[in-house]
Amino acid sequence: MKAMILAAGAGTRVRPLTYMVPKPMIPLLGRPLMEFLVAHLRSHGFDQIVVNTSYMAPQIEAYFRDGHRFGVEMAYSFEGTIGDDGKVDTRRFGSAGGMRRVQDFSGFFDDTFIVICGDALIDVDLTKAVAEHRAAGAIASLIATLVPHHDVSSYGIVVIDANGRIGSFQEKPSPEAALSRMANTGIYIFEPEVFDFIPRDRSFDIGSELFPALIAAGAPFYAMDMPFEWVDIGQTPDYYYATMKLLRGELKTARVPGREIVPGIHAGINVSLPTSPEDRARLRGPIWIGGSTVIKPGATIIGPAAIGAGSIVEAGAHIERSIVWEYTRVSGLATLRDQIVCGPYCVTSEGVTVWIDEAALRWVVDDARRAKPVQDEHGIADFVAQQL
């Protein structure tokens, strides 16, 4: 069966994480978000997957390639051009426009197919969803899920009749104005006839343009209320809390990778850890440590915490309820609480960002592949350690 993953967006609401990687490649304990999605699609028989790319497209394409190591076939639809000067000019066609572009290129969508965003963790029964879609005689279906009444303002809300047919949408309504608690999860099932409603060669969006066109035409367009685990990485705090939940074992869609070397501490291979009981006592799980990482004696890590591959945590460092991306050196001057360290940025769990260079934080958080910095004679390192 065939599927399309939408991965062309710039992920502006997840900055600064997406300054380094496109949103589908944001690492969740060392694995890109989109990898979990590809595995879920494969488990339901979707083994031919097209991905539309634009922003930082080479990172996605170089990682997944033709999909064979993930047990599927994958290809890409790059939305942009490369000029004579080698500069990439991205041109996004919108979610529906991206579908149309693939169809015009090859006629890929020749039967029922699924379209899904590349930035969420799901465990929905796609096999059941396709069966219900076909049984209803739908040209288009979306999977919805009930959300708490006080959270409706965070979602696109779907309004349906007694038969599940969609009559209208409300985009992030207030709780007082909401006509429903059914949220659009961004998981869609289509028949090829849907392309009759999508124009060629221009940007066209699924939610704001295709769906209103289907409703206006009276097309058979349905919503399916299917309770399932849905972790939407819409903003930076969502990523932080999703990682914390995964470390605590609260997600069914993913498990902590590596082997459990002591209770509560999972690690990859080639990891250097303290051996004395006193220093081991400073590591309190749940903790995940990526491969080829060094945790020095005298470092303190209190979970939930994740330390990316190739990192170095120096003696005296204190890391608590935090996420450290790969190849990061955390010096003994640093105290990280409820933070994400991603490349040259420190981000709090609420999304407040500090640019490390601007704040002179290279003294306490740095690239592990650099030569180790030396504290300057004016004691700047002591000062900036207090800022963390």
Domain of residue 298, CATH code: 2.160.10
Which among 363, 297, 355 is positioned nearest to 333, based on CA atoms?
Answer: 363
pLDDT at 386 over 60: no
pLDDT, residue 373, reads 55
- Output the domain CATH number for residue 45: 3.90.550.10
- Rounded Cα gap, residues 303 and 385, in angstroms: 21
Average pLDDT over residues 101-125: 91
Give whole-number Cα distances, 91 to 48, 52, 88, 169, 229, in Å.
24, 11, 10, 28, 33
pLDDT, residue 378, reads 37
Kindly state whether residue 195 falls inside one of the protein's structural domains: yes
Residue 150's φ and ψ, nearest 5 degrees, are -75, -5
pLDDT, residue 379, reads 38
Kindly state whether residue 180 falls inside one of the protein's structural domains: yes
pLDDT, residue 63, reads 95
- One domain for residues 183 and 308: no
- The pLDDT mean for the chain works out to 86
Kindly state whether residue 239 falls inside one of the protein's structural domains: no
The range of the structural domain enclosing residue 375 comes to 256-387
User: pLDDT: is 80 or 72 the higher one?
Assistant: 72
Which among 77, 64, 68 is positioned nearest to 6, based on CA atoms?
Answer: 77
pLDDT at 381 over 50: no
- Rounded Cα gap, residues 365 and 325, in angstroms: 11
Give whole-number Cα distances, 323 to 23, 311, 356, in Å.
17, 12, 16
- One domain for residues 215 and 261: no
Question: pLDDT-based confidence at 357, cuts 50/70/90?
Answer: low
pLDDT per residue as tens digits for the range 20-62: 889 999 999 989 999 999 999 999 999 999 999 988 888 999 9
- One domain for residues 87 and 184: yes
- One domain for residues 148 and 112: yes
Kindly state whether residue 222 falls inside one of the protein's structural domains: yes
Q: For the chain, what percent of residues have pLDDT higher than 90?
A: 44
Kindly state whether residue 354 falls inside one of the protein's structural domains: yes
Q: End of a domain among 199, 232, 265?
A: 232
User: pLDDT: is 377 or 264 the higher one?
Assistant: 264
pLDDT at 249 over 50: yes
Supply the pTM of this predicted model: 0.84
Average pLDDT over residues 327-348: 84
Average pLDDT over residues 359-381: 58
pLDDT, residue 253, reads 80
- Number of domains forming the structure of the chain: 2
- One domain for residues 261 and 226: no
Q: End of a domain among 217, 232, 247?
A: 232
Kindly state whether residue 245 falls inside one of the protein's structural domains: no
- One domain for residues 182 and 111: yes
CA–centroid distance for 34 within its chain: 7
- One domain for residues 223 and 282: no
User: pLDDT: is 350 or 170 the higher one?
Assistant: 170
Kindly state whether residue 299 falls inside one of the protein's structural domains: yes
Average pLDDT over residues 165-191: 89
pLDDT, residue 251, reads 83
Among 316-320, 332-336, 337-341, which stretch is predicted with the lowest mean pLDDT? 332-336
- One domain for residues 185 and 297: no
Kindly state whether residue 247 falls inside one of the protein's structural domains: no
Average pLDDT over residues 361-382: 58
- One domain for residues 194 and 76: yes
- One domain for residues 223 and 291: no
pLDDT, residue 377, reads 38
Average pLDDT over residues 60-72: 94
pLDDT at 347 over 50: yes
- One domain for residues 310 and 358: yes
pLDDT at 210 over 90: yes
- One domain for residues 22 and 113: yes
